[in-house]
């Protein structure tokens, strides 16, 4: 993909190498003028906005392949590698995380010249908006209303994966739910570099092996990856050479089940697994560190209430004063300061039988 970003417009050319890998064949040409507010962006923001817009337009071409981005702007490399973006940059990075994009320094002129020409000769009325909102997953998947908390007469598997930009790696998480409602969580830390789609396949393969080790033959599995589900259902074609090996391995595991149903589930209904994978993608732990199983407790009252113990033998606050007035004896563990305080306080009270009264000074006029 060749990308040219100017002050007021952007041009893009998508090409593909032939079987020899020497010649390029143009696939698609794109150009657009920036809107009034987009034109006020900095050069870095305009470049990132242009790349996000181009990937949205060419999504059906880029999704199954590795895309090499060729541009004069190193700011695009900054976006792809930035660990903690904010604002618009965070939205654009989320959009780009779906694709396998590799930034390449410009070496060729032919494709870039065409992209420059498209940017310089864009039409005045060609101001297409970049949609950064995300579609409502609940509408796209009306049938996937089942979640972990609902009852089901059978085994269910919920899994997902999460990548971390700080170099901590990728974490995969799963929760296997029995027909009795018992949960079996498990996680895997991937300590090698991989794209999000490969991480989803790694997660699915691990979870299916876990189910087979537990002698489970009938299983309903829920994944957060729409791509994996459609490829396993053979509704989408798998062309990426890096994913084909995972695809074949997953088919081999699926054939060992008597019944296996794979469905997509939105992350809003897979919150526990999503939190589990995010946790293990963030933390960094060496080989010798042993992590005990995570215990989850439910607490219905504040901590200060839990720390208060009920005492059966409750004594009133004036008990020591009453005993001192009655017997003139001190408590066993009283020091000199406590004894002095007790003598001073007892002078303000008197005892009538078993009832302790406080002395009150009444002035007579």
Tens digits of per-residue pLDDT, 312-348? Answer: 557 787 888 888 888 888 888 888 888 888 888 888 8
Structural domain contains residue 298: no
The structural domain count of the chain equals 3
Q: Which of 232, 265, 282 is the last residue of a domain?
A: 282
Report whether pLDDT(1) > 80. yes
Q: Which of 65-69, 129-133, 342-346 has the lowest mean pLDDT?
A: 129-133
Report whether pLDDT(259) > 60. yes
Question: Tokens standing for 269?
Answer: 């209904």
Q: Where are the beta strands (DSSP E) in the chain?
A: 2-5, 9-17, 24-33, 66-71, 100-105, 155-163, 170-177, 183-190, 218-223, 259-264, 349-352, 355-358
Please tell me whether residues 76 and 190 are part of one structural domain. Answer: no
Considering 73-77, 237-241, 254-258, the range whose residues carry the highest mean pLDDT is: 254-258
What is the pLDDT of the chain when averaged over all its residues?
A: 75
Domain extent at residue 216:
144-282
Q: In this predicted model, what pLDDT tens digit does every residue of 78-113 receive, in sequence order? A: 666 666 666 777 777 777 777 888 877 666 555 566
Look at residue 121 in the predicted model and tell me its pLDDT: 61
Give the pTM.
0.44
Please tell me whether residues 102 and 232 are part of one structural domain. Answer: no
Contact between 267 and 148 (Cβ < 8 Å): no
Please tell me whether residues 179 and 246 are part of one structural domain. Answer: yes
Look at residue 363 in the predicted model and tell me its pLDDT: 59
Structural domain contains residue 84: yes
More confident residue, 164 or 325: 325
Q: Of 72, 138, 67, 157, which Cα lies nearest the Cα of 109?
A: 72
């Amino acid at each position: 993909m060749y990308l040219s970003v100017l002050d007021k417009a952007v041009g893009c050319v998508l090409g593909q190498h032939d079987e020899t890998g020497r010649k390029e064949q143009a696939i698609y040409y794109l150009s657009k003028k920036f809107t009034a507010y987009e034109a006020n962006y900095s050069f870095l923001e305009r470049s990132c906005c242009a790349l996000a817009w181009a990937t949205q337009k060419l999504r059906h071409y880029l999704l199954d392949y590795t895309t090499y981005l060729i541009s004069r702007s190193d700011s695009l490399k900054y976006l792809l590698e930035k660990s903690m973006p904010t604002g618009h940059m965070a939205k654009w990075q989320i959009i780009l995380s779906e694709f396998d994009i590799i930034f390449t320094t410009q070496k060729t002129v032919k494709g870039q010249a065409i992209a420059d020409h498209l940017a310089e000769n864009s039409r005045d009325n060609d101001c297409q908006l970049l949609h950064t909102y995300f579609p409502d997953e609940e509408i796209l998947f009306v049938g996937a209303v089942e979640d972990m908390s609902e009852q089901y007469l059978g085994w269910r598997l919920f899994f997902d994966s999460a990548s971390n930009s700080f170099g901590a790696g990728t974490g995969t998480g799963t929760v296997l739910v029995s027909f009795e409602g018992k949960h079996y969580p498990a996680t895997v830390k991937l300590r090698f570099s991989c794209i999000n789609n490969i991480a989803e396949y790694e997660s699915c393969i691990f979870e299916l092996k876990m189910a087979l080790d537990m002698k489970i033959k009938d299983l309903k599995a829920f994944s957060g990856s729409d791509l994996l589900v459609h490829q396993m259902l053979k509704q989408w074609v798998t062309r990426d050479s890096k994913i084909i090996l995972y695809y074949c391995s997953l088919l081999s595991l699926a054939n060992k089940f008597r019944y296996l149903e794979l469905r997509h589930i939105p992350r809003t209904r897979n919150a526990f697994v999503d939190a589990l994978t995010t946790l293990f993608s963030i933390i960094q732990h060496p080989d010798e560190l042993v992590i005990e199983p995570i215990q989850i407790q439910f607490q219905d009252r504040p901590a200060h209430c839990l720390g208060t113990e009920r005492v059966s033998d409750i004594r009133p606050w004036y008990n020591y004063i009453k005993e001192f007035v009655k017997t003139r004896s001190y408590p066993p563990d009283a020091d000199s300061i406590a004894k002095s305080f007790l003598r001073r306080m007892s002078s303000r009270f008197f005892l009538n039988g078993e009832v302790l009264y406080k002395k009150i000074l009444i002035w007579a006029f």
